[in-house]
Structure 1
Amino acid sequence: MSTGETGWTSHAERLADLLRQRGDLLSPEWHRAVSAVPRHLLVPTAFEQSGTGEWTEFATAGSLERVYSPETLITVLSDGGPHRTPISSSTKPDLMVRMLETLDVRDGQRVLEIGTGTGYNAALLAYRLGDDNVFSVDVGADLIELAQARLSAAGFFPTLRASDGADGLPEFAPYDRIIATCSVPAVPWAWADQLAEGGTVLVDLKRAISAGNLVHLRRTGDRLAGRFTARWAAFMAMRHAEATPQASQAARASGDEQVRATATPGKPWNDVPIVWFLAQLRLPPGTTFGYDLDPDTLHPTFTTVSAPDGSWARVNLADSTVTEAGETGVWEAVEWAHDQWSAAGKPKWERLGLTVSPNGTHRLWLDQPDSSTHWDLPDVPAAR
């Protein structure tokens, strides 16, 4: 194995020790993997953003402390001129190992990874399970070629393919585990078809930005069922080969429309991801939320919710006053979601579970799959 830098192993071992001390890494197998995989070879360059929003590329060769730290490294930006946005990254190692621990792989098992990215996670899996048991797909052929070359230089040879992740990789199925390092609005049933009976899938289910969490599902017969993880996590959305550019921000309703101002009893929906997740049951697809910043201090002053038809709601963070306009009852959906969450006892993520059926139905439930407290998620395309 070529290292390209001297002294990297001590940095990798310190990272593994840190992750163990923090409770992210539990097993000696993953400690050995983190200590042995040269992240700097797989992420030779990355981007950092300045306070003014400008992106600058830097070489990681001279920043081993940074590369071997619990930090996400942005590796690919969109072709958006001055408004470029991240579309691929090397995920935070602490999140990565928590997911690998949750995946609960055993010797000899076969794993499919959705979202190759830099190949770092594929390398960890290959070190733990062997090259022949690791398969990984990503939509970008150029990204796959880069990852393949860097993995080979580091001494790892898992099977990589350029393919739409929503289709899985049926050529080598069945798999004992599927892990997705991207978010999806619905779990593709193609993944269930490629799982062995009793196999599991770990994926970030996001109905909208920040509206969801990791869920660990086991295949039993014609169902996928399981619980959300206790700790919240977020990944970039899955990309598709034929994806079309989308507007980065929903239009605002015109000034001619009636503006309604109401007082809300301080419901902290923006601090409770589950409320925002439940709100997606009532909000139209494509609804986004964000913040308005004070131009002088750059501190958030309003939380905003914007629907694709131009309807919007703004919550004053100082006094919780809500102002809204447009035909869609944006704030009404948020209030409904908060009431649902409160009536259920204000559960945390680990009390919530999900069942996915072959027809695409996604049912969210409280405590048990047959619970009387449940919600059916509106249909959204799982792929493309």
Structure 2
Amino acid sequence: MTTHLGTDWTWRAERLADELETRGDLTDPRWKTAVAAVPRHVLVPESYQQDTGGAWHHLTTDSGKGLELAYSPITLVTVLDERDHPLSSGTKPDLIVRMLETLDIDDEHRVLAIGTGTGYTTALLCHRLGDRNVCSVDIAPELVDDARDRLAGLGYHPALACRDGVGGLPEHAPYDRVIATCSVSRVPWSWAEQLTVGGFALVNVKPNIQAGNLVLLRRYPDRLEGRFTDRWAAFMSMRHQSHDQNPLIPRTTPEDAEPQARTTTTPPSPWWDNTVVWLLAQFHGLPDGVTIGMRLDPHTRQPAAATMTTPDGSTAEIGLTASSSGRYEVTETGPTSLWEPVERAHRTWLTHGKPDWTRLGITATEHEQRLWIDHPDSRDCWFL
């Protein structure tokens, strides 16, 4: 079978489906059939790959490398902004199928996909559920138009709309499932209003950079409630949020700021090594606008310290190597201590017996949303 690109793709799609099954990402044969049947290269005809020097390279599926990438379990960046920052991407197929299976979708369910993007998730849903049961929204008109044309070329005609995903798509509600392939700092209540009671929404709740995970929320008459998934995942912020909440701000340290050095038992870089602690840090006094990174050793060019900076000029640098007594060096400058909130979050995590993601959950009502550990009625909860 060939597409309008004249490309033999079916063996690649079947290979991808087999790989996802072998890795354990795919267990439902109906989703495996969908992965093998959807030509991803038609929906993602071009992408950008970043080299080790940070430069972006444009690839198309007309090339062998571009075609191979289209059927690989990786994220494909599809849109860059004027600063060469990714704005949109084709989500990793392994993550998409895990999300679809987590939602426990039945053949008769109606599904709303927040974030049309390339249309690949929508195509998988259409193959399984049929056009009439699939709706999707995206804020970018060019993405929606391209996805609509490419989906139609494959014989899929779901209900697509160009609008802010915060509002969902009420004219086609109610839905049995909502899947969001963008992150939000709080769950929009409009999504709950458009879900049937007993339905589920799978949402990436992320109050700050790298801080959050997918949470599976069940719709009750008065609330959404559920736990985070065991495997960590993260999406780009919902498009309007990425512009409004993450502006490019110069970060400078006052010239007269005296570095304050001390040691800590809290391990460095929780944003990569302990994402539960990093989420909890957002509720223990960490200021907005934190940027995270690494400082390289000038001689070895290997990571030597984790770094944190904020727009007010505050910085923190935490050594990556512990002393013989298990302590790490911390150096901070500026008016705000950035590492103390992380230390408090780490103590909370230890106090609760080192909870993993599945012990954390969210309860969302029309008027408030809170994060909890172990039980919705836990004394230890934090408001989003």
Fold match, TM over 0.5?
A: yes
Structure 1 residue 336 corresponds to structure 2 residue 360 = no
| Change in CA separation of 1:298 and 1:91 when aligned onto 2, cut-off 3 Å | farther
Structure 1 counterpart of 2:325: none
Structure 2 counterpart of 1:348: 356
1:155 CA drift (Å): 1.6
1:247 CA drift (Å): 3.6
Deviations 1:330-379 (A, max 9, x none): 111111000001101011101111111110x222222222233x32134x
SS in 2 for 1:100: helix
Between stretches 196-205 and 235-244, larger displacement belongs to: 235-244
Distance across 2 between alignment mates of 1:245 and 1:209: 10
Structure 2 counterpart of 1:376: 382
Structure 2 counterpart of 1:312: 315
CA contact (8 A) 1:203 1:215 kept: yes
| Change in CA separation of 1:315 and 1:268 when aligned onto 2, cut-off 3 Å | closer
CA contact (8 A) 1:312 1:326 kept: yes
Distance across 2 between alignment mates of 1:329 and 1:28: 51
Distance across 2 between alignment mates of 1:337 and 1:266: 10
Structure 2 counterpart of 1:278: 280
Matches within 5 A, 1:170-319: 170-240=170-240, 243-244=243-244, 246-248=246-248, 251-268=251-268, 270=270, 271-281=273-283, 282-295=285-298, 297-319=300-322
Structure 1 residue 46 corresponds to structure 2 residue 17 = no
| CA RMSD after TM alignment | 1.8
Distance across 2 between alignment mates of 1:242 and 1:346: 32
- Runs of at least 5 residues in structure 1 that lack an aligned partner in the other structure: 379-384
Distance across 1 between alignment mates of 2:237 and 2:43: 22
Matches within 5 A, 1:65-144: 65-80=68-83, 84-144=84-144
Deviations 1:27-66 (A, max 9, x none): 1110000000000100111111122211111112333332
Distance across 1 between alignment mates of 2:241 and 2:275: 30
CA contact (8 A) 2:75 2:90 kept: yes
SS in 1 for 2:304: strand
Structure 1 residue 35 corresponds to structure 2 residue 39 = no
Distance across 1 between alignment mates of 2:21 and 2:264: 43
SS in 1 for 2:30: helix
Distance across 2 between alignment mates of 1:108 and 1:75: 32
TM-score by length of 1: 0.93
**Count of residues in Structure 1 that have an aligned counterpart in Structure 2:** 373
Distance across 2 between alignment mates of 1:357 and 1:12: 41
CA contact (8 A) 1:257 1:325 kept: yes
SS in 1 for 2:240: coil
SS in 2 for 1:240: helix
Deviations 1:294-315 (A, max 9, x none): 3554432221122232212111
Distance across 2 between alignment mates of 1:65 and 1:77: 21
Structure 1 residue 322 corresponds to structure 2 residue 330 = yes
CA contact (8 A) 1:205 1:215 kept: yes
Deviations 1:66-89 (A, max 9, x none): 211111111000112xxx111111
CA contact (8 A) 2:266 2:346 kept: no
Distance across 2 between alignment mates of 1:12 and 1:40: 9
- The percentage of aligned residue pairs carrying the same residue is 53
CA contact (8 A) 1:2 1:154 kept: no
- Runs of at least 5 residues in structure 2 that lack an aligned partner in the other structure: 323-327
CA contact (8 A) 1:249 1:288 kept: no
CA contact (8 A) 1:250 1:287 kept: no
Distance across 1 between alignment mates of 2:266 and 2:243: 39
| Amino acid across the alignment from 1:217 | L
| Change in CA separation of 1:276 and 1:195 when aligned onto 2, cut-off 3 Å | same
CA contact (8 A) 2:20 2:26 kept: yes
Structure 1 residue 357 corresponds to structure 2 residue 365 = yes
Distance across 1 between alignment mates of 2:29 and 2:244: 44
Deviations 1:179-198 (A, max 9, x none): 00011111111111111111
TM-score by length of 2: 0.93
1:249 CA drift (Å): 5.6
Deviations 1:75-109 (A, max 9, x none): 000112xxx11111101100110001001111111
| Amino acid across the alignment from 2:329 | T
| Amino acid across the alignment from 1:87 | L
Distance across 1 between alignment mates of 2:249 and 2:353: 34
| Amino acid across the alignment from 2:48 | F
| Change in CA separation of 1:300 and 1:377 when aligned onto 2, cut-off 3 Å | farther
1:288 CA drift (Å): 2.4
Structure 2 counterpart of 1:382: none
1:244 CA drift (Å): 4.4
1:246 CA drift (Å): 4.1
| Amino acid across the alignment from 1:172 | H
| Change in CA separation of 1:340 and 1:165 when aligned onto 2, cut-off 3 Å | same
Distance across 1 between alignment mates of 2:337 and 2:104: 43
CA contact (8 A) 1:19 1:25 kept: yes
1:224 CA drift (Å): 0.5
1:243 CA drift (Å): 3.9
